[in-house]
Structure 1
Amino acid sequence: MDSKRRVFLKGTLAAGTVGVAVGTGLLTPAIALADRPKTAFETTTIEDAIRAALGAGNPQDSDQITIDTQDVAENGAVVPITVTSSLPGVTHIAILTGANPFPLVASYTLGENTKAFVATRIKMGETSDIIAVVKANGRLYSARQKVRVTLGGCGA
């Protein structure tokens, strides 16, 4: 019984300490966990989002990018998506959707010799194309797939 009390007290003290650190601003999880291109996620057009996230350039269509997702999403709040590419030298993958108020929904920076594969769940406000933009060897490539949403997830 005494060991359970000690574990409980240690856990309570640790949680309280973390809570105070977060509350006072000493610990900020967003800064510690990811470097987010804030301006890219706040743009309202697809072209501006691509430019802010991946640099200037007009992506060309590529059949070496595969988007795996549902054709019909019953709930736009949770749309699973997988993007893979067989292009050599992939350094970035971005996922966008045109019908959302802010089209950039995910941006990934990949390390050297990393397999070009990402899987996530995105939010879609309404039926639109999902666009995957891949940066490989300094050039931009893209692929798109239309997803029909029957129940909106962004603001619906």
Structure 2
Amino acid sequence: MNTPRRLLLLAAPTLLLPPATARASPEAMAAALREFTGGAAVTPGRVAMDISPLVENGNTVPLSVIVDSPMSEADHVSAIAIFNERNPQPHVITAHYSPRSGQALLATHIRLATSQRLLAVAALSDGTFWSDSAQVIVTLAACLEG
């Protein structure tokens, strides 16, 4: 293969550029929430999110969500989803539940790119959606753009 040197020299700098990464925004979070709920209304309450309001290191942030539900056949949580405003993806995680789960509890660690608002939403078996939100200040960001 006989590729001209000039072409390689012109292409080389573009190969070194990091790919552009998308960032979530309040609008992107709202769109992801609409997709999760199918456009249904989300009511504050029944959901309790536990996350520190001040996070020193955004690389590993403990987060837990518990939903007030009897977890019976007639009344149970079918899913819990976490959304954020400023990470690369607005929809962080969805965990699915059934009455056999016993308790609607989600405990995990997430990365936070910067200070932002988080939203936990529970989908209940009756078709309703309940939520809790938290504002988190991050002093050392994660998920940095290149």
TM-score by length of 1: 0.66
| Mapping for residues 1-150 of structure 1, pairs under 5 Å | 45-62=28-45, 64-87=46-69, 88-114=75-101, 115-136=103-124, 137-150=126-139
Output the amino acid matched with 2:108: T
Q: Partners in 2 of 1:53 and 1:142 — Cα distance? A: 13
Output the amino acid matched with 2:84: T
Q: Partners in 2 of 1:126 and 1:57 — Cα distance? A: 29
Report deviation, 1:54: 3.9
Runs (4 or more) in structure 1 with deviation over 3 Å come to none
SS at match of 1:51: helix
Unaligned 5+ runs, structure 2: 1-26, 70-74
Report deviation, 1:55: 2.8
Structure number with higher strand proportion: 2
Structure number with higher helix proportion: 1
Matched, 1:151 2:134: no
Instruction: Say if 1:58 and 1:101 are closer, same or farther in 2 by CA, change over 3 A.
Output: farther
Unaligned 5+ runs, structure 1: 1-43
Report deviation, 1:102: 1.6
Match of 1:25 in 2: none
Report deviation, 1:120: 0.4
Report deviation, 1:154: 1.2
Q: Partners in 1 of 2:68 and 2:48 — Cα distance? A: 9
Q: Partners in 2 of 1:57 and 1:102 — Cα distance? A: 21
Q: Partners in 2 of 1:86 and 1:47 — Cα distance? A: 24
Instruction: Kindly indicate whether structure 1 or structure 2 has the higher relative contact order, using CA contacts under 8 Å at least 6 residues apart.
Output: 2
Q: Partners in 2 of 1:57 and 1:154 — Cα distance? A: 31
Percent identity over the alignment is 28
For each residue in 1:41-87, what CA deviation from the matched residue of structure 2 results, as whole angstroms up to 9, or x when unmatched?
Answer: xxx7112212333433121111x211111121111111110000103
TM-score by length of 2: 0.70
Report deviation, 1:107: 0.7
